A and B are shown apart, each in its own frame.
Chain A
Amino acid sequence: MGRADVVSTARAGVAAAPQRRAEEEFRLHPLVWACWFAAALSVVFLTSNPLYAALVGLAALCQYAAHRPDDRRLDYVLVIGALFAVATIPLNLISGSSGATQLVELPTLTVPHWLGGVRFGGPVTAESLAYAASQAVRLSAVFVVVWAFNVSVDHFRLLKYAPAGLAQLGVILSVGILLVPSAIDSLALMQEARVTRGHRGARLTALPALAIPLLRESLERSVQRAESLDARGFGRLALVRRPYESLIAVGALVVAAGGAFAYYYAPMPGVAALVALAGMAMLLIIVLGQQRRSGAVRLRTDRVGRADVMVVAACVASLAIIAALRVTGAGSLVFLPFPRASVPGFDALAALACVLLVAPLGPELLRRPA
């Protein structure tokens, strides 16, 4: 490399530095994506109105389009998900309809008595069609939210924030993943040995014959790996347990479960929901509080920027609005087209809460060069 090349490379590096800084500044923290995912899913689950579900789905679709990787297989996954959601409509219609407006009458089929004697088919009503279609929209929204999250977040960065109590399992997973390349090498060697011994056949057909030796070889390597783990103090990662903490965690879980059931059985579902939330929050506080006593060393390079704060604020606002509307019974969040088919209601505040979920798109657009 000549002097001119060195200089031009250095200049290019200096010129790219502000862009890298901008990219870093607007790259969202992995926990922010987790927050967005939780908020978007919660909003879809808390409303049965297909208009709001469609709005959340559209917001997620924007994220998906912004982060869509080169691997187009994920597009097919989305299409298959949407088809699955659409397929639930005929499945629901043949399993019986109620409502006032009959559209058609399907031939009936009764399953033999020893299989339960269930009856499929019969009249199809406009109300059932509307309800099945609204559920299909909600299901599609869930699919899009899940896939938008999966293409947007870096799973490995997110895993750094797993609770300290799972540190040992994290090491186990890392060891397993590190063994994959050596297993592939072993597979190639075994195949070569087979060919040398005169065996013929493509690799795929040889796989069953190679599977058991490969498993034995991998387990053999794992024993060596275990010695390395021991030498590096693997057992030190074990969390120092405090029985009273475990007891509080168990109590919190029981309170959360009790609150969840009281939501349906008790006369005041709002209070029950708060009790369930309090139990869940207490459990999370205990699990995250174990962080300081863990022997695991964590290397984190993610910083919380202004963009992160704004996106989290938008997600929290969105969820808070929907939760408040749900508790007060306002906002047309519930859609039940029975006994007579109706158009889903629309409320500007609820729609605004759904649109707020498009917030991560802002930093993403700012991160990209013009």
Chain B
Amino acid sequence: MASALAVDAPRASVRAGAHRLVSSLTLCVASAVGLVAFLYPFLLANAPNGGANAAHSGDAPFIFGALISLSALLFLIELSSGAMNAKLASTLAVLAVAAAVLRVPRLPAGATAFFLLIMLAGYVFGPRFGFLLGALALFVSSFVSGGFGPWVPFQMFASGWLGLTSGWLGALRPRLARHRRAEIVLLLCFGAAWGFAFGALMNLWFWPYVATGDATSWRPGLGLVATVRHYWAFYLLTSAGWDAWGAIANVVLLAVAGRPILSVLSRFRARFQVDWSG
């Protein structure tokens, strides 16, 4: 019996290692395909132009919308398929609903407080939690606003990436523990950058569908430099002003409420990590 267990232990270890490897591969590929689905206007910049492709330029949002829906599905299933700690799951539930509720009140120029909790919770609880929180909060807020459309998978990915990158930023937490002011300044810069980045990312999926003007339109084979110039013109014309307000809202909210929320979340994180085995 004992020898059988001794033989099984390395096998189980190898199996667990294989599971981890496959899981990491799945997450990487699904995330990469998600990113590709966002960046398709630039990736198709060198496709053969004219003929069928010119006519098919309007198909792109449809094709890549379907692709991102599937990669979001695979990514979420893989991320949540492991046995999840019930305490973290419960915290995730509370924060997702709280973030979704924060999307309802509108600040000036359409800005919201939606990103505040995602950034701070991702920063404290890590990238995996951050991604799930961003994606779930967006999904719940779609219930609140009653609007499920082709944009939801894109928004879930973008919001998930916000949480994911907040988690990466959180790797600096131990070093910043004694520099509270530097920590807040770092978060303010992060919030301001994401105020613009979220808008710029979300424009990408419908840009080819909406823009027809010579200086702003997209078609396959435009060339990378011309595609970037056209997108920049489109962004300046339609979104830069609104996103500036979003960035300002993020900075103000983080400056006012960032510190107290961080201390609450950090306290709960510490409680979850108590190890009673001694």
Contacts and interface: CB of A to CB of B under 8 A. Distances in A.
Note whether A and B form a binding pair.
Answer: yes
Interface of A: 41-42, 45-46, 48, 74, 77, 88, 91-98, 111, 115-116, 118-120, 128, 131-132, 135, 138-139, 142, 146-147, 149-150, 155, 163, 165-166, 168-169, 171-177, 179-180, 208, 211-212, 215-216, 218-219, 221-223, 225-227, 229-230, 234-235, 238-239, 241, 243, 246-247, 249-250, 253-254, 256-257, 260-261, 263-265, 269, 276, 280, 283-284, 287, 290, 334, 336
Interface stretch (B83-91, B167-175, B179-187): B83-91
Contact of B261 (A212, A276, A290): A212
Contacts of A221: 94
The 3 closest A-B pairs by CB, nearest first: A95-B213, A96-B214, A176-B93
B257 A226 contact: no
Contacts, number: 258
Contact of B54 (A226, A283, A336): A336
Interface in B123-174: 132, 136, 139-140, 143, 146-150
Main SS of chain A's interface residues? helix
B212 A284 contact: no
Given A95-B233, A118-B229, A226-B86, A45 B94 contact: no
Nearest to A229: B86
Contacts of A212: 257, 260-261, 264
A208 B156 CA distance: 27
Given A92-B213, A172-B96, 7 more contacts: A173-B136, A176-B97, A221-B94, A241-B19, A243-B18, A257-B33, A269-B56
6 contacts: A96-B215, A128-B214, A172-B90, A179-B93, A215-B261, A276-B67
B213 A91 contact: yes
Contacts of B44: 261, 264-265
Contacts of B237: 91, 94-95, 120
Given A118-B236, A264-B220, A238 B87 contact: no
Contacts of B66: 280
Contact of B77 (A147, A165, A172, A265): A165
B82 interface: yes
B189 interface: no
Contacts of A257: 33, 36-37, 67
B198 interface: no
B234 interface: yes
A111 to B, nearest CB: 6
Contacts of B54: 336
A264 B261 CA distance: 48
B77 A247 contact: no
Given A111-B236, A215-B264, A250-B25, A283 B149 contact: no
A119 to B, nearest CB: 7
Interface in B19-42: 19, 22-23, 25-26, 29-30, 33, 36-37, 40
B80 A219 contact: no
Given A180-B97, A336-B55, A223 B67 contact: no
Nearest to B210: A88
Nearest to A149: B148
B250 interface: no
B62 A135 contact: no
A92 to B, nearest CB: 4
Given A132-B212, A260-B63, A264-B56, A169 B74 contact: no
B55 A98 contact: no
A229 B90 contact: yes
Nearest to A97: B214
Nearest to A215: B264
Contacts of B210: 88, 92, 135, 139
